[in-house]
Chain A
Amino acid sequence: MTVEMMIGRGREAIDMIVDPGSFQENRIGESEFSPELGPGAVVGEAKLAGRDIVVIANDAEAINERFPVVYFGVIGMEEAYKMAKTVYTVMRQDAEKAAGEKRPLLLIVDTPGNAPGKIEEIFGMNKATGAYQLALAEARRCGHAVVAMVIGRAISGAFLCHGLQADHILSLSPEFGTMIHVMPLTSISRITKLDIERLEQLAENNPVFAAGPDFFYRLGGVDEMVTELEDMPSAINRHIQEIEAAKAAGVADCTGPMYHGKLGEQRGGRMHRRPVIERMTAEFAAVAEQYL
C-alpha cells in the first residue's frame, strides 16, 4: 500500500491514472489550446483502459503571469473558461455519437479556491465558475460520463466549480491528506464560538459542518473512497461503466447532484432535504389548479 500526499501533484496524478504516455496536453480531437491560456488548468485527451477520455486537472505549480492571484491550483477566469471551453469542445465533437460512445470526462481535483481579486470581481469571476458548471451539467445530461477524482484539495466554491457537477465523485481517503471542506474547523470554531473539541464531538453524529472527505461521504457528496493510489484507474473505469449503464436505463437523475442528494439520505447524512421538497409538492398540489 502506498500512502503519500497528493496535494499539489495534479500532473503526476494524470500519469498515474491514464494509460502510459497517452496524455496529449491542450489537444481535444482536432482542437488545440494555446499553452499560455489559463496555465492553472491542465486539459487534454488521453486513454483509460484503451478508451478515449478527456482530462481536466489543476496544476499547483503553474503561475498565471497575467493574473497574479492565480497560483497553487487556484481557478481564475482564464482557467475556468478554458475548462468550460474544453467541455463544450468535447460535446460538439461528440454530438453525433450515441450516448455510450461519447467520451467520458475525468476531473482530477486539487484546487484551494476561485481567484479572489479586484480585477476578477470587476470582470465577473462569478460568470467564469458558473460557465464551467453549466457546461459540465449539460455534458452530464447529454450522455457524457463525468467522473471527479479528488486527489488533494477540494475547497468550497472551487469544488462546486470543479467536481460537484460530476455524475460520480471519488476521493482518495483521508490518509492521503485529502481535504474537502468549505472552511476548516478552526474557522467554524471562531464563528460559532464553540471550542474545537466540542465541534469534533458534534461532528461524530452530524456531518454537515466538519471538514474532511468522510463527512462528504456521509452526506452523499462523495460516492466512493479510494484507499490505494494504484486503484485509481480501475475505480474510475468502473464508475464510468456504472454511470453509462445507469444513463442507458433512462432513469431521471440517476447520477449527478440530485442523485447525491438521495445518496446523502441513504447514508443518514442529509435527512431533511426530501421531507422539505415533499411538503412543498403536497402544498402546491392543493392549489395547483389556481395557477395552471
Chain B
Amino acid sequence: MTDWQALQQKSFYEATARERANGIVDAASFTELAGPRDRMSSPHLPALGEAIEFDDGVVTGVGRVGKHPVFVISQEGRFIGGAVGEVHGAKMVGIFQLAQQAYAQLAAKGADSLAERLPAVVISFETGGVRLHEANAGLLAHAEVMDQIQNARGKFPVIALIGSKIGCFGGMGFVAAATDLIIMSELGRLGLTGPEVIEQEMGREEFNASDKALVYRTTGGKHKYIMRDCNQLVEDSIGAFRTALASALQQPYAEIARCRRIGSEALVDEQLALAELSCEIQPQDARDVWAYFGNADAAAIPEQTTADFLRTVRRRP
C-alpha cells in the first residue's frame, strides 16, 4: 500500500494539515507552495515569546482531481489553534490569486477546455479565526479572503472541508459560510462565536461550553446538515472527503454554485425567513429544531452512525 492509499483510510479528524492536503487530491499530485523549506514563518510571534512554525500553521499548494487543478489551503490546528496571522492569511490570499491566474489561462484556451479542467479552491478548515498575537493583520487578511471568494463567483468553485479537531470558528466561520459547497463529517464543527466565548460573554446559563454533547448538537456536522448549512455529510476518513470532493468536481460549475446558502438577494430572503422562524420556534436546544423539521426521535440523532443518520434524517425543507 502506498502512503497515499494509507492516507485514504486515515481519520480526517486526526490527520495533520499536510496529510489532508496530500490525501484529498489525486495520488502523488500535490505540490506544496511556500512550504516549510521556504521558512515563511511569522515575524511577529518571536517578539511575543511564542514559537514559530516554518509553514505558519497552514499548508498551501496545488494538486489534481481528475483533470481539475485544485488549489488547496489546509489549516493546522496543532499550531496556535490554526489561527490566522499575517503570513498564514497571505498564503490563503495567494492560493486564490493562483486559482484566478489558472482560470484566466484555461479560459484563454476556450470554453470546452475550461469546463473540462475548471480550477477549484479547496479549504480544509481547522481554525478559531484571527490569531490574537497579530490580530490586526489577521483581521485584515480575513477581509481579503472574503473579497477573493466574491471575486471567484461566476468563475470557479470554492469548496470547504470541515472535520478536524478545532472545527471552524470566528472569522473563518463566515469565510466557510461564503463558499459554494460545504462538506463535513459529523465530527466537524462550524460556527461564529465559539462555545467558550458564548459562555464567557453570556453566562453558563446561555451556554455551557464544557457540555460536549451540547456543543456538537449546536455546531456539529449532523446539525449543520439538517439546517442545510452543510451540503454533504461524509464518514470521518480522508478518503470519504476525497470521494465527495471528486464527485462534486464532476458536476458542472452551475450545479456546484447552486449549493450556496448566501451570496444573492434570494438567498438572503430565505435566511431572513429562517431567522424569523427561530423566533417562532424559540428553541431551547438544537433538538427542538430537528423535531420541528420532522425528526420525531430527535434525541436519538447524536447516537446514530453517519450512514443510519443519512438514511433517516429529515432536513430543513
Q: Is B1 an interface residue (CB 8 A)?
A: no
Interface size class of A (residues with CB under 8 A): 35 or more
Q: Is A27 an interface residue (CB 8 A)?
A: no
Instruction: Find the residue from A88, A134, A138, A181 having the highest chain B CB count within 10 A.
Output: A134
Smallest beta-carbon distance B87→chain A, Å: 6
Give Cα A219–Cα B263 distance, bound, in whole angstroms. Answer: 28
Chain A positions within 8 Å of B, measured between CB atoms, are: 66-67, 69, 77-78, 81-82, 84-85, 88-89, 92, 114-131, 133-135, 137-138, 141, 156-157, 159-161, 164-165, 181-183, 187-188, 191-194, 202, 206-210, 215-216, 219-221, 256-258, 260-261, 264, 269-277, 279-281, 283-284, 287-288, 290-292
Instruction: Find the residue from A125, A269, A283 having the highest chain B CB count within 10 A.
Output: A283
Q: Is B52 an interface residue (CB 8 A)?
A: no
Q: Is B144 an interface residue (CB 8 A)?
A: yes
Q: 17 A-B contacts, Cβ less than 8 Å apart? A: A84-B262, A122-B289, A125-B193, A126-B174, A131-B268, A133-B143, A157-B171, A157-B174, A164-B140, A164-B143, A206-B47, A208-B44, A260-B140, A279-B40, A280-B60, A283-B33, A284-B62
Interface size class of B (residues with CB under 8 A): 35 or more
Q: Is B94 an interface residue (CB 8 A)?
A: yes
Chain B positions within 8 Å of A, measured between CB atoms, are: 31, 33-34, 38, 40, 43-44, 47-50, 60, 62, 64, 69, 85-87, 89-91, 93-95, 97-98, 101-102, 105-106, 117, 129-130, 132-144, 146-151, 153, 170-171, 173-178, 190-193, 197-198, 201-202, 206-207, 218-219, 223-224, 227, 229, 261-265, 267-269, 271-272, 274-275, 278-279, 282-283, 286, 289
The listed residue (B62, B87, B94, B198) touching A291 by CB distance below 8 A is B62
CB pair A81 B272 closer than 8 Å: yes
CB pair B136 A181 closer than 8 Å: yes
CB pair B47 A165 closer than 8 Å: no
CB pair B143 A272 closer than 8 Å: no
Contacts of A89 in B (CB 8 A): 265
Contacts of B229 in A (CB 8 A): 124, 127
Smallest beta-carbon distance A174→chain B, Å: 15
CB pair A181 B135 closer than 8 Å: yes
Give Cα A194–Cα B106 distance, bound, in whole angstroms. Answer: 51
Give Cα A127–Cα B229 distance, bound, in whole angstroms. Answer: 8
